Amino acid sequence: MIRVIARKELISLARDGRFRLGAAIALLLLVAALASGLARARALAAEREAAVEANRRQWVEQGEKNPHGAAHFGVHAFKPVSPLSFVDPGLSAYLGTSSWLEAHYQNPFQHRPADDAAALGRVGELSAASLLQRVVPLLIVLLAFGSVAGERDRGTLRMLLGQGVRGRDLLLGKLLGAAAALSLTLVPAAAIGVAALALTGDLAANAPRLALLALANLLYLAAFLGLAVAVSARAPSARAALARLLGLWIVICFIAPRAAAELGARLHPPPTPVAFWQAVRHDLKEGIDGHGAPDARRAALEREVLARYGASRVEDLPINFSGLLLQAGEEHGNAVFDRHYGRLWDTFEREARVHEMLAALSPALAVSRVSMGLAGTDLGEQRRFADAAEAHRRLLNRMMNEDLTQRSRTGDFRYTASRALWERVPDLRYQPPGLAAAVRPHLGSALALVAWAALALAAVLAAGRRLAP
């Protein structure tokens, strides 16, 4: 009986011109989003590759100069483009794509794509993920609001129940039929997404992520579809069902995510840029918590080095004391940056944990968190790359200071290094985390998605038991 009802529902929806129009529009939007996302990702990847090559060439061809001058010349770190960012760009447009790695300072990431977008573009980027999370649920509302309530309006629900059709079977058949109709839009879009990833040459490496991404969105849409059928079964009329479902769609897809963002920012407000850099400059100058002013640090280092080499003056040392002093300054700065950037990242992550906790209240929140994590466009991925870039900055500065220390003497201001030193500095090689590490921070949201899908199915079964004409 369930199969018969599902088949009848599928045929009915397929013949409905409104559904065909809505499904065609949704499919076209998904295809357009995937195509534009792929083109954008490939363009960004090409730009990054060209920038990396130009940056390396500029570094090794800078000519002879003092190593400390080379450290100030610095290099740039360019964040790799995630292979799945064409599906879900996540936060990548708002967190910056490159950072200047120089002596003495850990610079923030710059060149956010959102800064170059028009005002309309900043309202919401068109992506496959945003369409699946916001537009496709609206299509579900339009195809499911009358699934049971429409039968009630036409009087056929009383006839079906009078013929002995069980309410549970009727609702499950309606649910499966609507799911089959929805697949007419989703399956072609998914196939195009797989083909697009194959074009990038990253299909084999990212197939597990793509499969889990599809599963997460499937659970989300299944939850929405189940809720829509349950609401239709309980509503007194199709008009009432449509009004309730539109309200539910607005709350789940728009109000809840916005409220979560506002709540996270209120509970864990980050410092303003002015306050952040004032605190950094204070600790660089006065020492952390006022301990370790520059003069005191220099005097302590000088005593230690003179005692180590048995010398009475820095001019008598067999090394360049300035190089040691510069590296000591870097180590002090590193501690300051670890303190303040660590606090800043921790604040952002506490905000993100608020969203994770609220995922139980909205499946849209849950699927968004999981989707960004799998696509490699979440906050955690940005922090991991920022940490890798900072480690590279420290390596470069240490190599420059060590060369200055070992290959010159105190007071030798004419010493210069050559291309041989510049070429010894390795390129920044960043390896994104494995699947388990990417998913682990979002396990709560993943479980919330499963719970929402199970809750929606339970709601359908409960509505079926109490179904009345």
Is the entire prediction scored with pTM above 0.85?
Answer: yes
Model confidence at 251, pLDDT cuts 50, 70, 90, reads very high
Q: Give the pLDDT score at 209.
A: 93
**Domain locations in the chain as residue ranges:** 2-465
Tokens describing residue 221: 């849409």
pLDDT at 413: 87
Per-residue model confidence (pLDDT) at position 344: 95
CB contact burial 127-161 (16+ within 10 A = b; e otherwise): bbbbbbbbbbbbbbbbbbbbbbbbbbbeeebeebb
Over residues 160-171, the mean pLDDT reads 87
Write the pLDDT tens digit of every residue in 104-118.
999 999 877 655 554
What is the mean predicted confidence (pLDDT) over 343-356? 93
Check whether 314 has a pLDDT greater than 80: yes
Instruction: Determine the residue type at 165.
Output: V
Task: Write down the pLDDT at residue 190.
Answer: 92
pLDDT value of residue 120: 39
CA angle 388, 391, 396 (to 5 degrees): 125
* pLDDT band of 291, cuts 50, 70, 90: low
Map residue 84 onto helix, strand or coil. coil
Task: Report the first-to-last Cα separation within the chain, whole angstroms.
Answer: 19
Banded pLDDT at 164 (limits 50, 70, 90): confident
Q: pLDDT for 258-271, tens place per residue?
A: 999 999 999 999 99
Average pLDDT, the chain: 91
Helices in 61-119 by DSSP H: which ranges?
A: 67-73
Average pLDDT estimate for 242-252: 96
